[in-house]
Amino acid sequence: MLTAHKLHLNLGGTPVLHGLTAAFTPGRITVILGPNGAGKSSLLACLAGLTPPTSGRLTLDDQPISSLGPRDRARRIGLLPQVAELHWNISVAALVALGRLPHAGRFGLTAADHAAIAAALAATDTAHLAARPALNLSGGERARVLLARVLAGQPRWLLADEPLASLDPAHALDILGHLRASADAGTGVVLVLHDLAQAARIADDVLLMRAGRIAAHGPATAVLTPEALGPAYGVTLSDNLTPLARLR
């Protein structure tokens, strides 16, 4: 289990998370929803152990996340951040191989490493880009390659912030299918999404945030309703979760 207990986070003197308590279950896909600025990315960064909370407790399988060494943590928790910038013009193959760094032994990549990299390239339909310089990719290609880097690490927990935002419908479906298969194989998957239709398609559980607090958390069927989502987003929603109008 990945858990947050009474999590508070201040950034630049501003309270961003206000005492969140939540547990995430391996083998399930949790989608975090909420309006801009609700604290979704901040929560994900805390869960990944990258942003230390101001107070509260984060644990992975009953162990404080802060007690994990960076290599151990990176093996167990993979994070795809919302804004993933590329600074080096290395090849796609080299970039995806970086995802194996937490597993790297003294003698370079093993057959298992190569197999994991090939599987990540296949899952994201990026194998044909392997020789391309990473800086020359389109936005959607770059997003898929950066996801491949995370998948190559085969983390037990996969946290991804808007992983489908720049993908075309076919690639979005491919990635959703891969995430479902990963969860079915026991991976804990936590996704931040804005598209309610995608959330409805993939979520087992939904954590709805509003202004740094949890507005609802439970099975998707219970939270993905116009009554629960509408007030959080300040809109009225149709039965199929299409936004109809702003709430006054």
Taking CA atoms, 99 is separated from 49, 177, 227, in Å, by 17, 21, 41
The nearest distance, CB 215 to ligand ATP, in angstroms, is: 12
Nearest to ligand ATP of 16, 199 (CB atom) = 16
* Nearer to ligand ATP among residue 129 and residue 199 (C-beta): 199
Residue selected from 31, 34, 124, 179 as contacting ligand ATP according to rule CB under 6 A: 34
How many residues bind ligand ATP (CB under 6 A)? The answer is 13
Task: Work out the number of other CB atoms within 10 angstroms of the CB of residue 199.
Answer: 23
Q: Which two tokens stand for residue 231?
A: 């007030």
What CA–CA distance (Å, rounded) separates 37 from 57? Answer: 22
Q: Least distance (Å) from ligand ATP to the CB of residue 234?
A: 14
Establish if 41 lies at the interface with ligand ATP (CB under 6 A). Answer: yes
Out of 1, 6, 11, 222, name the contact with ligand ATP by CB under 6 A. 11
Binding-site member from 39, 102, 153, 155 for ligand ATP (CB under 6 A): 39
**Nearest residue to 141 (alpha-carbon basis) of 176, 166, 116:** 166
Residues that bind ligand ATP (CB under 6 A): 11-12, 14, 16, 34, 36-42, 82
